């Protein structure tokens, strides 16, 4: 029994001491709270939230938002967001008494402004205000392309604006409101201003395989220029398939067909003869047709021909195809005898036709032709280096819409391609349609 009593006595003392210690700490914390202004509940700050008014008592989005402290307190923070979660940048005066927005408000938006202040004794104040801006009139709209569907990993995304935008600040506002993402694997990419109304988007390298690409706009209400605001536009969803690459070697007269890096087939081919050399560079499949009638007169070629052509896969709008050319089978694998197209046997052309879709990559190497231009004859976007591509962005390179010149093989100088050498005239780009997944 004595051992039991001795064993319990220290535990009682420990409990009592802990209780006294906790009581002491609580009293100390209470005393600290009494002397700590930051622990006080915020008071209703005396601040004024002002904006230029327009019709119906709504704010004019062309005018700045202003916040000022009216009771001698100092503004410590201002957060202004619209219902889409977009923040308005601003600047606080040196004395902390005034704040004004440094970015344009969105049109047709509902804003919430949260202001934090501190008085001379350090007590915090809070103020929340809301207001609406007037809606925009005729807005800037964007149409994304291509149509929804499944494409090869070389397919660029396009954005066509309803109104031209030339001002650098306006271009930056547009570009920062156009968003592209891919899942499950992300891809670093950028927009390029082809001209005042057209942008192209491509990743640094080809799109990931079997990805879902989502393109959206947050332009609605965003000020692009004087009295010009963005409108609401339809998003776009694309999918990618395998990484298909057809490497056309004009020097060895052979095409190597790869699927996700694995060589599936090699074909003997013929490409453009001297004077009609096939363009070098990376192209992407634009469309396919089982039958095309090709005529020399449509592209101004003096060598007369009028041929029915089967299993034709187009890679430029000026008429370069990969197609069946049974009339040149004796030269395929040995010599270049076409007017710019890549010719192969009917059997091989049909196999190629069946295994490619829009956006798949067709790359020509070792030709004496010029390098395919990036934008005026199909999708030659990949012929610009990543550094060149980023210079076409309004956010990273000025977005001037000036296409860099590309080298002509063997010339040692930067010259753009100067002639159309293919076998068939351009078709209407509106004919472009996605293939089945």
Instruction: Name the residues annotated as catalytic.
Output: 323, 341
Q: Tell me the CA distances in angstroms from 184 to 178, 207, 208, 218, one per residue in order.
A: 20, 11, 9, 22
Which residues fall within 8 angstroms of residue 108, CB to CB, at 6 or more apart?
A: 133, 134, 135, 136, 220, 221, 229
Q: How many other β-carbons are positioned within 10 Å of the β-carbon of residue 217?
A: 23
Q: Where would I find the beta strands (DSSP E) of 97-169?
A: 98-101, 110-118, 124-132, 142-145, 149-151, 157-161
**Phi (first) and psi of residue 274, to 5 degrees:** -55, 135
d(CA 372, CA 384): 10
d(CA 88, CA 269): 59
CB 202 within 8 A of CB 189: yes
At CA 260, angle to CA 248 and CA 237, rounded to 5? 105
Give the residue carrying structure tokens 């934090």: 116
Six token digits for residue 351: 């196999």
Q: What is the DSSP letter of 65?
A: E
Q: Coil, helix or strand for 54?
A: coil
**Phi (first) and psi of residue 197, to 5 degrees:** -125, 0
Taking alpha carbons only, the member of 211, 213, 229 closest to residue 221 is 229
Taking alpha carbons only, the member of 368, 380, 379, 378 closest to residue 405 is 380
CB 89 within 8 A of CB 82: no
């Amino acid at each position: 029994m004595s051992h039991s009593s001795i064993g319990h006595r220290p535990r009682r003392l420990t409990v009592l001491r802990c209780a006294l210690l906790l009581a002491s700490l609580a009293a100390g914390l209470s005393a600290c709270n009494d002397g700590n202004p930051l622990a006080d509940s915020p008071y209703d700050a005396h601040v004024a939230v002002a904006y230029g008014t327009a019709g119906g008592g709504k704010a004019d989005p062309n005018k700045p938002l202003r916040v000022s402290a009216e009771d001698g307190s100092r503004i410590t923070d201002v957060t202004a967001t619209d219902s889409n979660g977009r923040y308005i940048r601003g600047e606080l005066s040196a004395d902390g008494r005034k704040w004004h927005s440094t970015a344009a408000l969105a049109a047709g938006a509902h804003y919430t402004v949260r202001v934090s202040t501190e008085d001379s004794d350090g007590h915090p104040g809070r103020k929340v205000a809301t207001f609406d801006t007037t809606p925009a009139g005729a807005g800037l709209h964007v149409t994304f392309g291509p149509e929804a569907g499944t494409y090869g990993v070389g397919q660029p995304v396009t954005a066509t604006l309803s109104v031209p935008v030339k001002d650098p600040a306006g271009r930056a506002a547009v570009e920062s409101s156009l968003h592209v993402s891919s899942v499950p694997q992300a891809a670093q990419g950028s927009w390029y201003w082809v001209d005042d109304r057209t942008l192209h988007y491509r990743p640094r390298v080809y799109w990931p395989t079997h990805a879902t690409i989502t393109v959206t706009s947050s332009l609605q209400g965003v000020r692009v220029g004087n009295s010009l605001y963005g409108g609401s536009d339809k998003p776009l969803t694309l999918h990618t398939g395998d990484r298909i690459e057809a490497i056309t070697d004009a020097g060895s007269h052979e095409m190597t067909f790869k699927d996700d890096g694995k060589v599936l087939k090699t074909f003997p081919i013929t490409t453009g003869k001297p004077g009609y050399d096939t363009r070098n560079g990376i192209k992407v499949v634009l469309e396919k047709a089982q039958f095309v009638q090709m005529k020399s007169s449509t592209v101004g070629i003096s060598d007369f021909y009028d041929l029915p052509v089967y299993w034709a896969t187009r890679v430029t709008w000026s008429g370069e195809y990969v197609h069946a050319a049974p009339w040149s089978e004796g030269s395929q694998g040995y010599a270049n005898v076409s007017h710019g197209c890549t010719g192969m046997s009917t059997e091989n052309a049909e196999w190629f036709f069946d295994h490619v879709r829009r956006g798949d990559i067709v790359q020509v190497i070792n030709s004496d032709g010029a390098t395919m231009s990036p934008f005026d004859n199909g999708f030659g976007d990949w012929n610009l280096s990543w550094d060149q591509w980023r210079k076409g962005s309004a956010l990273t390179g000025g977005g001037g819409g000036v296409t860099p010149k590309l080298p002509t093989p063997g010339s040692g100088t930067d010259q753009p391609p100067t002639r159309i050498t293919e076998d068939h005239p351009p078709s209407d780009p509106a004919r472009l349609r996605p293939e089945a997944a």
